[in-house]
Amino acid sequence: MEAFIESYGLSFPEFRELITETHSLVAGSAALALYLQQEGIDPGFVPGDLDIWVRHTVELVSRDGSQRRPANIDRISLFLIQQGYDLTTKFEPKNNEDYDQLHNIVTILSFIKQGKEIQLIMVNHPSLIIYIHLHFDLSICMTWWDAAENSFKTSIPQSTRRKEMHFHPHMEIDERGQARIQKYIDRGFTLAEEVPCHALVEQDPRLSVGLLSELTAFDVIAYEDVNAAEFLRQSSYHILLQMGEQLHAFHRNTLCEYLESHKTHLHPVGDIMETPHKLSLMSDVVSVFPYSDYSVFGLVHAYDFQGKSIYSVRCYTLDGWFTDDSACIIEPPSADAVFAAAPNPNPNPPLPLYHPDVYWMD
């Protein structure tokens, strides 16, 4: 990043400090190209400009006028002007309504110096990282520079490193979207149909997937054995459930739909869900199964209660599964607590009015 910023005639330490203090974000095509270079991948293009996303703030002045905190956009604009950049009228709005349909964009400023362009995009949103995930159309452009760590990060690392892009699932591909897709196809990217599974924190990279190449898993839905490694490679939605020595292959969404349709309340255990194998899991599993943080789930028998086989669930990344290091465990209440709270049947129930062992009928 330092060499790139200096190529724009800017002091890297000052630039980094300013971006950090204003909580601004370098994102978009420049961040994408530099991220790929960071990962040792040829980006296939040279970024034409530098986009800086700026959180909208207002200037604050103390009552006595002794203290002043300028707005973020003013601080960065002044810095660029002091470095010899000129403000252009490229994005001059005709009226205040011009930006109304642009996802909370307040204004866009373009600065030019010796053929180098820097764009400041000011948006009205408290978190710029969340903003780009909500409003950027292409997954590869959801890439940004972490100024504090001086490193580049991206929303879907595995896909981006393969130079695969995904169009935002909640946006329609209009004429502008088609043009942007084609632009990146020309740069060597491919458009993937399936949007990768989202993560709660971080997607499991599945770096050790090749170690599964000799193992098979039973696909309950297709009712056939599949190669475990190839199954996981096919989709981030694919997971493995381990029951004893056997692996079972599932699509996350299919499994969760089945579990939701087989949900019941078992007092005093709580809400449980039954798998296709008639194993009962705590309903909390559906807060984990749909997300790509974990790839393998180990089902371990806890106890039987009222005709139900209750299981705990150990959640693993693929690397963690090979070392039996579960990241979290979803457990039912302890057997002692459940059986202590269970209603006791009356040991001496009253005899019915008619009982064949007591009354005789003529």
Tens digit of each residue's pLDDT (9 = 90 or more) over 196-233: 788 888 889 898 999 999 999 999 888 899 999 999 98
Tell me the two tokens of residue 325: 């290091």
Percent of the chain's residues with pLDDT above 70: 88
Pair 72, 106 in one domain: yes
Q: State mean pLDDT over 28-52.
A: 95
Confidence of residue 125 (pLDDT cuts 50, 70, 90): confident
Q: Is residue 225 part of a domain?
A: yes
For residues 216 and 17, give the distance between their C-alpha atoms in angstroms, rounded to a whole number: 52
Q: Is residue 356 part of a domain?
A: no
Q: Is residue 135 part of a domain?
A: yes
For residues 274 and 255, give the distance between their C-alpha atoms in angstroms, rounded to a whole number: 10
pTM for the structure as a whole: 0.59
Pair 176, 305 in one domain: no
Tens digit of each residue's pLDDT (9 = 90 or more) over 289-307: 999 999 999 999 999 999 9
Pairing assessment for the beta strands 116-123 and 105-113 based on DSSP bridges: antiparallel
Q: Is residue 279 part of a domain?
A: yes
Question: How many structural domains comprise the chain?
Answer: 2
Pair 84, 36 in one domain: yes
Q: Is residue 239 part of a domain?
A: yes
Lowest mean pLDDT among 86-90, 100-104, 210-214: 100-104
What domain range is 33 assigned to?
A: 2-191
CB 309 within 8 A of CB 279: yes
Pair 75, 220 in one domain: no
Pair 219, 156 in one domain: no
Asked whether the predicted pLDDT for residue 59 surpasses 50, the reply is yes
Q: Apex CA 315: angle with CA 273 and CA 335, to 5°?
A: 55
Pair 148, 16 in one domain: yes
For residues 336 and 326, give the distance between their C-alpha atoms in angstroms, rounded to a whole number: 24
